[in-house]
Structure formats: structure tokens, C-alpha cells
Structure 1
Amino acid sequence: METNTNTSEMVNDEDSSAATTVKYIFAGVIFVVNGFLANAILGEESRVGDFSAMIGAMILGVRIFRTTIKDLRQGLLTTNELVAIAVLATFAQGQYHAAGLVAFFMLLAEMIESRTASGAQEAIRRLLERAPTKARRINGEGEEEEIAANDLEVGDRIRVRPGDNVPADGDILTGNGSINQANITGESLPVDKNPGDTVFQGTINIDGVLEVKVTKVGVETEFGRVRELILQAAQSKTRFEKIVDQYMGFYTPLVLVIGALFWAFTQNMNLVISVFIVASPVAFIIATPTAMVAAVATASRLGIMIKQVSDIELAAKINAFIFDKTGTITTGTLKVSRLKPVEGIKPAELLVLTASAEQYSKHPTAKAILTLAEEAGVELIEPKNFKETAGKGVAASLEGQSVLVGRQVWLEENNVNGDIAQSVDLDETEGYSLVHVSRGGEFIGWVGMTDEIRSEASESLSELTDEGVSRLAIVSGDRAPVAERVAAEVGCENVQADCFPAEKVKYVEGLRKRGYTVAFVGDGVNDAPALKAGDIGIAMGAAGSDVAIQSATIALMSSDLRRLPFLMRLSKMTRSIININFLIGVGSVVVGLVLAALPPEFATSLLTALGFSPEGEEARMINPVVAASINLFGTILVVLNSARLVREGEDMEAYDEDSQTDQENDSDSEVSQSEDVAAATV
């Protein structure tokens, strides 16, 4: 939990610094305001008001000069020097009230900038507050003991009661419950959990008592990964931010030259001071960071983990989305929908042989077949000489006879008798993923499986098209009829079937060479090479997948495809807000410089028309206090504009009720179909 501690200390340091700044501001403002009141009551000839304002200006100026000296010692030339010169010059002229106000306004702007830069730490702190501090560990005697969550180790057994915050990642041993996973996946509705399912640290058990075996602790948990991804994204910079940092060292000398020119032509020190203040580009500097921090926070709230903030900008430019089929467009949960034995073999016999041979396999097809066997209540045969060939099938000896279960090509490679291709009716198998079965070297039938399409897939792909995506494609290792059926149902025109991982990479690279900006969306396991090949790699359902986190540039902790069009909308809105922020930042500087450049005659006429009676050097449209006000106003506008991003996605709850009903009906239909198959085997 070392990273946990370091992150917490970093956040606390930021809070301590901000608290100290607030104390300085509060103390300084009291003296400055007291100075104004003393002058109003006792008259300006009394030195009480000036003395109070002088103390206030000194207090407020301490933080500014301390930062400036620190920068100079490090060999940095920043805009802090401009502010320090302006405050010092105003103070030296005896304008203590003005010096205090200038320092006050600039400190406020600096504090806003500082809090913006530490926005990621604030997000992490909110996550830390959700992290459990206690755990109920079950000791060797079966008794429950309360310990610190940090003391948990992999392999420990813990008990999670209703209302408890799950203290570590783990697998449920006993018990059933509903878990609120919003902190990890962004899903607003609770998820039902049963024995064998995984629960994540930082999620909340709503009901049911669970006994869990700990599999991950500390920074290795999904909660820890989410926290690190937020920090990593906040510390990264966009291309434009890097350019700004590169040229900011030249900006301060340029402003000093401009100030010297103003002095040469006007001999007006107040005007020069105003130029230094208004040219301090606080609003410009925070234009991008404020928007990016808000966007990252909004995305993470919905379970969209972004590693580099530059990917937020890039997402708006995507015009090609390439999807893996299984586990992305579909749920990845296979169900047996058809048992087709050859003549002379009963469906029950085909199921017994297939399930018996597959019972030691971890492949999804094996799980689907064994589930049906359990529903049908058939008695399995203990396999001998079990052997699994990756990507092809399994072989086992059942009651002295060799049984092969797998791809058609694999059975043919093993010299299975009979023309398998002619034995399989293409019209009958269309849309099914097939597993072929042989016994004693003779082909005895096939098992057809279907994979449920995600209920939101069609709507999500349609929304991507509305967002300007010109090419949608599905690439799959499955057979062409299966991939084409899925593509037709979700409205995707481009399909590539029978693809190996290398062919998926080649397809992505081909689109990039043709000028497309490509996002590849996959499950992060079989699709790791393709995820890295795209301009953006998006891993679906990344919670619990180490490979997904490592391979993808963006990880969706849930499997909700609606996050994809939302990501594009968020990206476009972020770019729009950044552009507006730049206009505000540049505009505040330009407006201030234009006001400073207006000749006294014009300023006198305009101020007189507005009801003021300026005299002498005051016949200017700007002074140090007005300049500081313009700077602060621009900074506040930028922050408020960026804050609009925080409210985005608040309407993204679970999939709407009608769609959920449709999904349940589809699911019921699939279940009924499976039950029919099971009944037919008995």
C-alpha cells in the first residue's frame, strides 16, 4: 500500500499549501480593507489607513515574492516575475492600497491555477475516501476478526456483510449478493454476484453475506489501477501544452520589452505596472489543464479510464471504429442452441460424448456444453488421455474409444472418416458457431452455439455514425456466416471473418495507411496486438483484465458500448471548451494591452462620457487594480467554462427500461431454446 500512502501524502501537501495561501490572503485582505475604512472615516491625511494597507500589501506580497525567488533559484523565468515586479513597483510608489489589491487579485488567480493543477489529486483523494479501511478476516479457527484493510494478504478469507465496502479483490466462495460497482465500472445499477464471481475493492455490498477469498491487494486491485490511471492521465500533457511550456520562457522577456516601450513613450509607471499585470497569462495557461482535468474526472466517473490526456483530443478525430466480435459486440457468453447428430446417433448420446471429452477444458465452448449437460442431467464419462490443442479442439479416450471435439479442419487433419463438409448443411448451420465431434475415427455430429448480441450495440453504432464515424467494421476469428449475422443485426456493413490476430493488425494498419484515424475496440486479451496497432486502442470490460489495462490506451471498466459515442461527444466538447478558454485567455491580455495603449485624450473623453473626472496620469483606461481585475475575471471565466464538462454524462444510467425488457425477452428466448435442447436430449 506504499503508493496509496504516497498519493495521500501528495494530496495532503497540496491541501496544506492551499490552506497556507488562504491564511495569507485572509490576513492581508483584513489590513487592506481596514486601510480603506480608515481613510473613509479619518480622511486621507491620516496615515493610519496607509499604514494598515502597507501591512496588508506586505502580507499578501510574501507569497508572491517567495514563489518568484524559488523560480529564480531554479533558473526558471516565469510570469511570476511580472507579478512580483508590478506589486513591488506599486508598493514603491506609495500606492499601498493598490499594491494590496493587485497582490490579492493575483493570489486568487494563482490559487485557482494551483487548484486546477491539483484537480487529479482531488479526484484521487475522493477515491481514497471510498477505499475501505477495515476488513473482517476469517482466521484458522473460523472466527471473524476485524483488521486493517492494508494488512490483508492474498489467500486470506474475508466476510463481507450488507453495507460493507469490499476491502480487496477476490472470488466469492459462499453467499449471494448485489454489488454496487459504480466506483470501478461506472455502472449505476447493482450487479448480482454468486459463488465463483469476482468482487472488487472499493465496491459496496448492498445485500447478502459473502465469504470471499482475496486474490489481489493494494495497488494490484482494480481500485488501485483506477487511481493510478487517473494520476497518470493528469500528469500527461497535450501537444499544445508542451508547445506552451516550450515558449513560455521567451514570454516574460517579451513582456518586459513591451513594458520598457510603454515607459519610453509615456513615462507613466502606473501604465507599465498595468501592462505587466494584464500580460500575466494565467487564464491562457490554465485553458487546457482545467478542461482536461474536468474531462478526465467525468470519464473516470463513468468507468472510462484514459491513460494520456492527448487521447481525449484524438478521440474527436476518429473516423473509423473496428470491433472484435466476441465479448465486444456480443456478450461473449456462448449457449448451445442446436445438437445435430448423424443418423443412428441420438442427441443425448452426442451430448454425453461431447461434454465428457470437454469437461477438463477451460474454453468458452466447453463451458456452454457442460452447462447444457448439467441442465439435462446427463451422467458424464470420466475421460482418459485428455489433451487440448489451442485453437483447434480437445481429444480424449472415453470407454476405450478416441473422441475428438473441435474445428472441422482439425478433425480432417486427424483423418476422421466421412465427408464432414457434405454432412453439414450450410443453410442449417448459418449463424451458429460449430463444434464438430468424432468417435473412433467416425464423424458423429456437430454442436451449434450462439453468442448473445449486446442490447445496446445497434444503437451505439448508429450514434457513432451520427458523430461522424465514416467506417464501422467487425473483425472476427469466427466463421463468416456467424460474423455476418451479427454485423447485419447491429447495422455494420463491413465484416472480416476467419481472422487471426495478425490479420486483425494488418486490417487496422491498412485503414491507417488509407488516411483513417482508427480506434480498435476489443476485449484486451486475444486482441492485444490490434489494440496497440490503432491510433486509439479501447479495451472493453477491462475490470479484472491486466492485459486490457496494459494493451489499450483507453480502458472501459464496464462493457457498455454507449461509452464509445459518449467518449466522442466528450472529446468534441472538450476541444470546443479549450478553444473558448484560449479566446478568453488571449482576449483578456489583448483587451488589457489595447486599453493601456489608448492615448490620454481618448481615455479622458471616454471616461468623462462615463461620468468620471480623470486628471493627469489618471487619464488612462487602465490602472494596476483594473489590470488585476481583468486578469482575475478571465481566470474565473476559464474555470467556470471548463466546469461545464463535469456535468456531462450524468444522464448515462443503465440501459433504458424498454431495451432492458427486450434484452430480458431475448435472454428468455435463448434460455427457452437451451431448455428445449436439453429436454430433447433426455
Structure 2
Amino acid sequence: MPHNTLNLKNIEMEHEHSHGLECGCGCGASHSHTSTRGVSLALIGTLAGGVLLLNSFIAPIFYGSESSIVELSAMIGAALMALPIIVHAFKSIAKGSMHMDELVALAVLAAFAFGEYREAGVISFFMLLSELMETRTALGARAAIESLIRLTPKKAMLLANDGTESEVDVSQLKAGDVIRVRPGDAIAADGEVAKGNSSVNEATITGESLPVDKYPGQQVFAGTSNLTGSMDITVTKAGEDTTLGKVQSLIMQAEKTRIPIMRIIDQYVSWYIPTILMIAAVALFFTKEFDRFIAILVVSCPCALILATPTAMVAAISAAARLGVLIKNVADLEIAGKLTAMVFDKTGTLTTGRLYVTKLEPAEGIEPADLLRTAASAETLSRHPAGQALIMLAKEANVSLIEPENFEEVPGKGVKAVVEGNEILIGRESFLKENNIDMSSITDPSLHEEQGFSALYVASGDKCIGWVGMQDKTRSEARQAVSELQEAGIKRITMLTGDRKDVAGRVAAELGCTDYKAHCLPHDKLDIVKNIRSQGHSVAVIGDGINDAPALAEGDLGIAMGAAGSDVAINSASIALMNNDLKRLPFLVKLSRKTRLVINMNLIFGSLFIVIGVILALAGYLKSTWAAPLHFVGSIIVIFNSARLVRFGEYLEPHTEESAAGKE
């Protein structure tokens, strides 16, 4: 029934408190488990009334059709089932709200007034059964939210300064506390690994099914599952401030929002009921057949029509959340299907955001291994990404490193250190020239930059002994994602970056972007997005949600990549992708279009169902006792058609490569 279907958009579940489902059966509740119990009690009442109604059809065989038992069973059974409907209708009218189920209440009252108890009972039974099915569906659609709530344990093992353990309520945790998580435990709060190594299943947050290895210094999230080792975790966020808490609130926020078609339907409530009443009254006046009057009222109750949009949206939100795509407003999901252009930030979005050594070019007389050993040894104490890339390559090549002496890092320029008695300098060309280093032993440094490398030059003593070329690798799935977006009808794919033009051109060509812009500052990105929109495009902006915040806000749709654990990313965009898998973008576009298709199918079916039903009732072909079962069947068809969306996206293979690296 409509009052239940509207509640699909209005149910609010919180961890401790919830505004329960108010169904036509009168089963209001204040907690989700109470809602379920209320629905179960209403089901028992419906079945009891149904048994008495069935008895009124069977009793004439044993007692005769004139027996008072027959009429009494029909009257009591009908009353049991009709009362919740009638009471709810009067409450709605008293509050000044119309949910369209008043039509059914009027039909039931009319049947009682004319002593047609069996008709009243049949109508009430199928209407209540329909309501209960829709209510159960509403609760079932939120099973994912309830499971998220249950993921966070209620207790945590708190470590004191002296190392002793004590079990405390999760609600008592605060930033700075240290908790111990053993294998098989759910992590109770967001935090940073202080001690221990383990594998953690983060599927509930990122949508990635494969475990992620964790070691000291890495971030972990509340509600994820610790699989293998024991870890001591320093709490950074607890309770509603955790990433899981934000995921819960975002899903609930999305379910309470509405797209334009839902608001349009509500606008027509005021004239729909009077129109149906007029049609039913005209039919009764000319035909004098009371059954037609009731049939018109029952079949015109537009449950299927009202269910068309919210059921599809709830199913789509559930499908997206399962893959780590959080949609704040269902209207944003609708926009995703209309996109014609996408604007990507390069670093950290299309690329990994990490530097990798892709070329070693030693000077004449220098071995590549010696160049790597010297450079990596000098960078041993550096935390700069370039230094870390050198150290990583040295470890992969099994090159033994030497502890540097007199290490000094010059911000923005390079490092100085003494390795095996030799003074080593590593940095850009300008840094070495400042220190009077002879660069004649290598080719023209400007050529290295033009080739798309970020070049670091290595000097020993007063002479350059070679250079190291570094590049930020594109994500392994980026080319496929761009190709799928173009196949989906995205006409323009623009890449923006603050990097050099030669680097930007290489990445754009590698991925198949239609155009790119280098040397972009945040305000430049904003101007470019405005310009693309002015050309008539519907634009989505994809970035990390930090330095891209102005452009994200300017686009028709802002999508934050790798938002797990990032408040800025979650809050700055319309849609947050909890991991860095770019294949989620074509999925989002396809999900939007599939949802719109399902909604249109539901709306067409719901409209035809009412029109054909009313015509059949007017013609006398549809009896009132058949109108209620047909209404029930129509609602179920819409619900099951929408439910298909829940499994949408199962074709996506879990993204595994760089899953851990992408979050750094």
C-alpha cells in the first residue's frame, strides 16, 4: 500500500535509535527489531482474519448457507483485517495527509455498510498481505545497513600504558587509545597500526574482496575483519566519526532523498483521489452496481505506480554500496546516466600517485648497479617519494645498501650524504650546478625532461656519475575504464594536471583521453570545468577530493576517488568511491541508465495496470473480489523487477593490483 511504499524513502535507521516503519497495519515501532516484530504481529492478525474468512466459505457445507456461523465468521474476519486499514486512513486524514489508501478504506466501509462481509474480508486480506510484503521488502532492502551496524563490535580490548588489557565498551573509546585486535576479531575503531602485522578484509568499506596486508604505520577501518595476526592499533576515530559510521549515514541520507519524478507523483495526490471517486460515483449512478464501485476504488489504488521509483532506487543504492560506491543523493545517480564528459585529475586518480624508477643512465665507466647502490644508499634516511622509489628498486634488485653519514636533506632540491667516504649529491640539475658539479659526462639534461621523465642526477665528489629517470605509473585498469566510458557514450574525457606538458601528453596518449591540460593550478581546473559545461556537456569531475575540491563542486557531478578514511574526500564530492578502482566509473554510468530503465518499466506497468483495471471494472469484467488479488500481484511484479538491480555489477572482478598502494 502507498503509505508503506512512501516509507521506503523515510525510514531512518541509526545505530542506537530508529524511526520505525509505520505501516497501514498500525505496527509503528521505534527500533528496527521492533519494526520487524510489529510486522510479524500484523501478519498473525492478517492470517487469523484470513482463517475466519476462509471458514465463512467452508461453513455452508456443514451448517448451511443460512447459518449464523457463516455470517459471523465473515464479519469478525473482515473486521480483524479491515480495522488497521480504516484506522490508518482516518489518522492520515486527521493529519492532513493523503496516501491514496483512503480509497481502499472507503471501499471496505462501503462493503460493510451493505452487509457484504466476504467482499470486505477478501479486499482487506489481499490489501494487508500486499502491505506486509512491501513492508518486509522495505526492511529487507535495509539488511545491508543493519549488517553494517552489526559489523562494529560492542566491546574492545583496551591496552593500558603498562601493557595490561581491559575490556571496554566501544562507545568509551577516544582518539589516542590503543586497542588490541586478535585474529578473527572485527576492528572496533579507525586507527593506525602501532604494532604487529596482519591481513584485513576491507570489503565492507572499499568493496574489494581480497584481504589487504597491514603493518605498522598503515591505516585500518572500523568494521573490517582482522584475519591472520594480532595488531595493536592507535585509535584515530571512534563511533560515528569512523569511516564505517560515515558509510552508514551516507546510505541512509541517500535513501531519504528524492528524484524529480517522486516529487511529481506527490503533487498529483491532491487531484487523483477526487478523480477516482468521481469515476466510481458515476459508475454507481449509471449502473446501480455496487460491486463496480468497490472494484474501481480497489484497483485504482496506485501501489505499483508509487513503488516504481523508490524500490528501484533503494536496490540501486544497495548495489552501488556493495562495490564501495557511496551515493549521497539519488538525484546524483540519475545525473550519472546523463553524463557526456568526464574531467580527471591525473596524479592519484589516473595514476598511482607513486614514483617508480623506470630508467638508470650511468655515465661512461660507471656500472648501473654501482649507480643504484650509491643513489639508494644516500637516500636511505630520506622519506621523499623519489628516495623511497630508489630504495624499493634496490631491494628488488638485491643490491646491498650502505649506511650514509652526514645526511642532509635540502627541501625542494635534493639530498647530501657521505657514502664510503665520498660526498654524494642527488637532486635536480639546478641543485647540482649550485654545488659546482661537472655535468659534462651526461647527455643534455633538458632531453630527459622532454622524454617524460622526472630526472634525478647523482654526483660523487665534483662529477655527475649518472641520472635516474622516474615516472608515475598509470593505474592498470585505467585504459580499460576510459575505453568503457567512451563505449558508454562519454564523448569527452579530459585529463588535468599540474605536471609538465610532456608528462601529461604521455599519460593522456597512453590512456586514450580526448584532450588534456598541463600546468593546471586549482583555479585553472575550475575554469576548464566551467568552459566544458558552457559547451553543453554534462560534466563529472573525478579527483582525490583535496586539491580538486573547487572543480569537484563546479561539475554536474563530483566523484572522489579512494575516499576510505578521508573526511575531505567524502564531504567534498557528490559520490565517493571508497577504493581507487576506475572500473567503478563505467559501472556507475551503466547502473544509472539501468535504474532509469527499470523505473520507466515500473511506471509504464503501474500506469497501464491502473488504466486497464479501471476500464475493466467500469465494463463489469473485473469483480471486487478479484481487484484486490490483482492489486497484490501488480505490486509484487514491481518489487521483483526493481530487486534485479541489487545484483547489478556482479560482472565486476574485484580489483586487486595496487589495492593497498592506492590508499596511501
Tell me, yes or no, whether TM beats 0.5.
yes
SS of equivalent to 1:323: strand
Change (3 A) 1:140 1:468: same
| Rounded Cα–Cα distance in structure 2 between residues aligned with 1:562 and 1:132 | 32
Over the residues paired in the alignment, what is the CA RMSD in angstroms? 3.5
Are residue 621 (structure 1) and residue 645 (structure 2) matched?
no
For 1:257, the equivalent position in structure 2 comes to 278
For 1:4, the equivalent position in structure 2 comes to 15
For 1:23, the equivalent position in structure 2 comes to 44
For 1:488, the equivalent position in structure 2 comes to 509
Which structure 2 residues correspond to residues 172-251 of structure 1 after superposition, within 5 A?
A: 172-251=193-272
Contact 1:155 1:213 in 2 (8 A): yes
Q: Alpha-carbon deviation of 1:414?
A: 9.6
Partner residue of 1:301 out of 302, 322, 340: 322
Partner residue of 1:546 out of 541, 560, 567: 567
1:151-210: CA deviation from partner (whole Å, max 9, x where unpaired)? 322212222222111111111122221111111111111111122111111111121122
Q: Alpha-carbon deviation of 1:20?
A: 3.3
Partner residue of 1:95 out of 110, 113, 116: 116
Partner residue of 1:35 out of 50, 56, 81: 56
SS of equivalent to 2:519: coil
1:288-331: CA deviation from partner (whole Å, max 9, x where unpaired)? 00000000001101111010111221111112122111111111
| Rounded Cα–Cα distance in structure 1 between residues aligned with 2:424 and 2:17 | 57
| Rounded Cα–Cα distance in structure 2 between residues aligned with 1:50 and 1:380 | 100
Which structure 2 residues correspond to residues 117-516 of structure 1 after superposition, within 5 A?
A: 117-118=138-139, 121-338=142-359, 347=371, 351=375, 355=379, 359=382, 364-365=385-386, 367-368=388-389, 377-380=401-404, 388=411, 393=412, 423-426=444-447, 430-434=451-455, 448-516=469-537
Change (3 A) 1:545 1:343: farther
Q: Alpha-carbon deviation of 1:368?
A: 3.6
Change (3 A) 1:433 1:242: farther
Which structure 2 residues correspond to residues 564-643 of structure 1 after superposition, within 5 A?
A: 564-598=585-619, 620-643=620-643
Q: Alpha-carbon deviation of 1:635?
A: 0.3
SS of equivalent to 2:650: coil
| Rounded Cα–Cα distance in structure 2 between residues aligned with 1:517 and 1:49 | 66
Partner residue of 1:63 out of 74, 84, 89: 84
| Rounded Cα–Cα distance in structure 2 between residues aligned with 1:527 and 1:40 | 78
| Rounded Cα–Cα distance in structure 2 between residues aligned with 1:414 and 1:115 | 74
Change (3 A) 1:16 1:407: farther
SS of equivalent to 1:4: coil
Contact 1:178 1:206 in 2 (8 A): yes
1:240-263: CA deviation from partner (whole Å, max 9, x where unpaired)? 101112221221122222222222
Contact 1:3 1:219 in 2 (8 A): no
1:532-585: CA deviation from partner (whole Å, max 9, x where unpaired)? 121111111110111110111111111111111111221111111111111121
| Rounded Cα–Cα distance in structure 2 between residues aligned with 1:285 and 1:441 | 79
Change (3 A) 1:424 1:263: same
For 1:612, the equivalent position in structure 2 comes to none
SS of equivalent to 2:301: coil
| Rounded Cα–Cα distance in structure 2 between residues aligned with 1:516 and 1:381 | 57
Contact 1:339 1:351 in 2 (8 A): no
Change (3 A) 1:411 1:428: closer
TM-score (norm 2): 0.86
Change (3 A) 1:342 1:202: same
Change (3 A) 1:40 1:580: farther
| Rounded Cα–Cα distance in structure 2 between residues aligned with 1:150 and 1:484 | 51
Contact 1:172 1:213 in 2 (8 A): yes
Q: Alpha-carbon deviation of 1:431?
A: 2.4
For 2:553, the equivalent position in structure 1 comes to 532
SS of equivalent to 2:162: coil
Change (3 A) 1:265 1:438: farther
Q: Alpha-carbon deviation of 1:108?
A: 2.2
Q: Alpha-carbon deviation of 1:444?
A: 10
Change (3 A) 1:251 1:435: farther
For 1:606, the equivalent position in structure 2 comes to none
Q: Alpha-carbon deviation of 1:15?
A: 2.2
- The answer for unaligned runs of 5 or more in structure 2 is 1-12, 20-29
| Rounded Cα–Cα distance in structure 1 between residues aligned with 2:432 and 2:164 | 57
1:198-246: CA deviation from partner (whole Å, max 9, x where unpaired)? 1111111121122211111111111111111110110000111011122
Change (3 A) 1:442 1:259: farther
Q: Alpha-carbon deviation of 1:481?
A: 1.8
Contact 1:416 1:443 in 2 (8 A): no
| Rounded Cα–Cα distance in structure 2 between residues aligned with 1:14 and 1:447 | 65
| Rounded Cα–Cα distance in structure 1 between residues aligned with 2:571 and 2:613 | 48
TM-score (norm 1): 0.83
SS of equivalent to 1:102: helix
SS of equivalent to 1:124: helix
| Rounded Cα–Cα distance in structure 2 between residues aligned with 1:83 and 1:181 | 48
SS of equivalent to 1:76: coil
| Rounded Cα–Cα distance in structure 1 between residues aligned with 2:584 and 2:606 | 32
Q: Alpha-carbon deviation of 1:34?
A: 1.6
1:312-351: CA deviation from partner (whole Å, max 9, x where unpaired)? 2111111212211111111112123456799999957984
Residue type of the partner of 1:556? L
SS of equivalent to 2:156: strand
Change (3 A) 1:416 1:34: farther
1:100-141: CA deviation from partner (whole Å, max 9, x where unpaired)? 110111122223444455556433212112222232222232
SS of equivalent to 1:524: coil
Contact 1:186 1:302 in 2 (8 A): yes
Q: Alpha-carbon deviation of 1:96?
A: 0.9
Change (3 A) 1:426 1:40: farther
| Rounded Cα–Cα distance in structure 1 between residues aligned with 2:129 and 2:436 | 80
- The answer for unaligned runs of 5 or more in structure 1 is 599-619, 668-682
| Rounded Cα–Cα distance in structure 2 between residues aligned with 1:340 and 1:477 | 26
Q: Alpha-carbon deviation of 1:89?
A: 0.5
For 2:95, the equivalent position in structure 1 comes to 74
Contact 1:119 1:293 in 2 (8 A): no
Once the two structures are overlaid, the 10-residue window that deviates more, 168-177 or 295-304, is 168-177
| Rounded Cα–Cα distance in structure 1 between residues aligned with 2:376 and 2:148 | 50
User: Identity, % of aligned pairs?
Assistant: 43
| Rounded Cα–Cα distance in structure 2 between residues aligned with 1:427 and 1:77 | 72
Once the two structures are overlaid, the 10-residue window that deviates more, 474-483 or 113-122, is 113-122
Contact 1:334 1:364 in 2 (8 A): yes
Residue type of the partner of 2:56? G
| Rounded Cα–Cα distance in structure 1 between residues aligned with 2:181 and 2:140 | 32
| Rounded Cα–Cα distance in structure 2 between residues aligned with 1:596 and 1:415 | 95
| Rounded Cα–Cα distance in structure 1 between residues aligned with 2:80 and 2:424 | 87
Residue type of the partner of 1:329? L
For 1:615, the equivalent position in structure 2 comes to none
1:52-90: CA deviation from partner (whole Å, max 9, x where unpaired)? 111111111121122112111211123121111011101
1:7-64: CA deviation from partner (whole Å, max 9, x where unpaired)? 4954234324423322321221121112222133322211212211111111111211
